[in-house]
Amino acid sequence: MSATSCPPGPVLEIEGVAAPPRANGELVFAEPWESRAFGMAVTLAEAGLFTWDEFRDSLVARIAAWEADHASGEEYRYYRCWLAALEDRVVAAGLLHDAAVAERSARLAERPAGHDHPDDHGHGHGHGHGH
């Protein structure tokens, strides 16, 4: 990972006929939560809270574990492995204790249907609700 907090500017220039990255006709993320999980890993690594190599090791382990053992017929989902690796790294780095995510998730799950972000922090961007 580079030390800068964001990629260099010239990368962002959009020009020409083949506007990226959908030039090949495919969305980068299948669901919104995937982009949040992606963004968190990159942000934490760029901030130096863990290294990219450490994250990659966790990702390799999670993918290998899925390939070694999963329910028959279960579809492989790369960003599920990514999310699990991210949780592994966050706990290993001591950023959160290992039950924190499950506890918060369970609390979020109890929200009534059609909830309107009672716990939102006012940062006003889309979360990856899949429900």
Residues 73-102 interacting with other proteins (rule: CB under 8 A): 74, 76-80, 83, 86-87, 90, 95-96, 99-102
Residues 20-79 interacting with other proteins (rule: CB under 8 A): 20-24, 26, 28-33, 35-40, 42-47, 49, 52-53, 56, 59-60, 63-64, 67, 71, 74, 76-79
Report the alpha-carbon distance of residue 9 to residue 18 in Å, rounded: 19
Report the alpha-carbon distance of residue 60 to residue 56 in Å, rounded: 6
The binder of other proteins chosen from 9, 48, 112, 118 (CB under 8 A)? 9
Tabulate helix, strand, coil % of the chain (nearest 5): 50, 0, 50
